Amino acid sequence: MGTSRVVPALLGLSAFAFYITWGASLSNGTLGRMLHIRGAAVPCIPGTHEPLRLRFTGIAPIDYWCTIMVLFFWEAVDGSHPATSMSGIYFLGQLVGIWTLVWVEGFRRGERHMVAKATLWALAMQNFTLACIGPIYFALHLEANHNVRAPAARQLRYLPWSMVLGYVVPSIMLGLPSPNVVSYPAQQATIALWTPFPVWVGLIHSLLSWCGGHIYNISPEPAAERSSKIYLHAARPVYLFAVIGSAIVHIGTVVTSLSTVVFPSLFVASAREALAPQTLLFPRNLLLESIGAGVLNFMQWDQLVGYAALWVWVLKITQEGGMRVQTKAALLWRALEMVVCVALLGPGGAAVLFVWRRDETVE
Closest CA to 304 of 69, 24, 91: 91
pLDDT number for residue 227: 66
Residue 267 is part of which domain span? Answer: 3-362
Among 212, 205, 247, 233, residue whose Cα is nearest residue 360: 233
C-alpha distances out from residue 206 to 95, 102, 196, 200, Å: 21, 16, 16, 10
Q: How far apart are CA 192 and CA 25, in angstroms?
A: 21
Which residues have a Cβ under 8 Å from the Cβ of 140 and sit 6 or more positions away? none
pLDDT (tens digit per residue) in 147-174: 555 556 777 889 999 999 999 999 999 9
> Residue 316 to residues 79, 139, 275, 351: CA-CA distances in angstroms?
39, 11, 34, 12
- CA distance linking residue 52 with residue 17, whole number of Å: 29
Average pLDDT, the chain: 88
Number of domains in the chain: 1
pLDDT higher than threshold 80 for residue 226: no
pTM: 0.91
Please tell me which residue, 287 or 303, carries the higher pLDDT value.
Answer: 303
Cα–Cα nearest to 173, from 187, 192, 159: 187
